[in-house]
Structure 1
Amino acid sequence: MTAVTDILKSKTDPSVHTIAPTASVLDALRLMAEKGIGALLVTEGEAIVGIVTERDYARKIALLGRTSAATLVRDVMTSSVMFVSSTETSEHCMALMTENRLRHLPVVDAGKLVGLISIGDLVKDIISAQKFVIEQLEHYITGQRG
């Protein structure tokens, strides 16, 4: 079982991108496009007050006939944000994300934001672990030392 802290260390870009609730949705979309990400944590100072995603845009702006320039992030963000600590396992995170239909989980230790993991990060970790097990089994079967 991989700990979240190890997943965070393996990320090529560990940055967590945030936006204020008073920013426009257009600003949020521009930042997500610029960074190549699908979600932003919404913060006021050090406090996480929500999360805004591309899915929020699709469902709460485009489909409702709103404009992204005239709508504030706080009007479309999800305000009840689930989070995990860095000591949680990838399996626990995967279960949490699956049960709650989440794609992103902030990582918070002692009340401080330390990272953000995505479903893609977890899938990458699981594939890596499975590949290692397969290689070890192949070595065992063929009698090779590895």
Structure 2
Amino acid sequence: MSNVATIFARKGGFNHLTIDPEGTVLEALKIMADNNVGSVVVRDSEKYHGIFTERNYSRNVILKDRHSHDTKVKDVMTIDLPQLKMLDTLDHCMQTMSDYNVQYLPVTDGTEMIGVISIKDLIREQVHQQKELVKYLKNYISG
């Protein structure tokens, strides 16, 4: 059964994009656009603070008539998300995302933040598992 560690292995590591809490929303959006992602981790050199997502932008900047160039990420980011562990199953991850109505969750190893899992990562892993099962069943049937 797949878990968070399996997803990170397929993704090729624990890479995640970051921005300092004092960074502007515009800077975060540029990082996201340049890397074709929907979130960035908000952290300084010492600690994880939260996650800034496209949803944060639409709900906390656009709808509140703020300006991207002078709004700090720390003022609109998502904080206090549940944290996943490396051995958490896909089912647990999906249930947690569903329960909290989020598309991104931080992954920690003890107290250290090591990455982010997205709903897209979970779907990719589910598709991969299904392909492997079909391949196995085809081989089994054809003997």
Q: TM-score, normalised by structure 1?
A: 0.90
Q: Which residue of 1 aligns with 2:16?
A: 16
Segments of 5+ residues of structure 1 without an aligned counterpart are: none
- Note the C-alpha offset of 1:74: 1.3
1:45 aligns with 2:45: yes
State the AA in 2 paired with 1:62: I
Residues 32 and 92 of structure 1: is their aligned pair in 2 closer, same or farther, counting only changes over 3 Å?
same
Identity fraction in percent: 36
Return the alpha-carbon distance in structure 2 between the equivalents of residues 110 and 98 of structure 1.
Answer: 23
SS of alignment partner, residue 84 of structure 2: coil
State the AA in 1 paired with 2:128: S
- Deviating 4+ runs (over 3 angstroms): none
For residues 87-110 of structure 1, the C-alpha deviation after alignment (integer angstroms, 9 at most, x for no partner) is: 111111111111211111111102
State the AA in 2 paired with 1:87: L
How much is the aligned-residue C-alpha RMSD, in angstroms?
1.5
- Note the C-alpha offset of 1:138: 2.4
Return the alpha-carbon distance in structure 2 between the equivalents of residues 43 and 30 of structure 1.
Answer: 17
State the AA in 1 paired with 2:135: E
Paired residue total: 143
Q: Within 5 Å, which residues of 2 pair with 1:1-146?
A: 1-12=1-12, 14-141=14-141, 143-144=142-143
Return the alpha-carbon distance in structure 2 between the equivalents of residues 45 and 5 of structure 1.
Answer: 24
For residues 31-81 of structure 1, the C-alpha deviation after alignment (integer angstroms, 9 at most, x for no partner) is: 111121111111133322111101111111112211100111111111212
Q: TM-score, normalised by structure 2?
A: 0.91
State the AA in 2 paired with 1:131: K
Return the alpha-carbon distance in structure 2 between the equivalents of residues 28 and 55 of structure 1.
Answer: 13
For residues 95-134 of structure 1, the C-alpha deviation after alignment (integer angstroms, 9 at most, x for no partner) is: 1111211111111102112221111111111111111112
Segments of 5+ residues of structure 2 without an aligned counterpart are: none
Is 2:14–2:114's contact at 8 Å kept on the other side of the alignment? Answer: no
- Note the C-alpha offset of 1:12: 4.7
SS of alignment partner, residue 77 of structure 1: coil
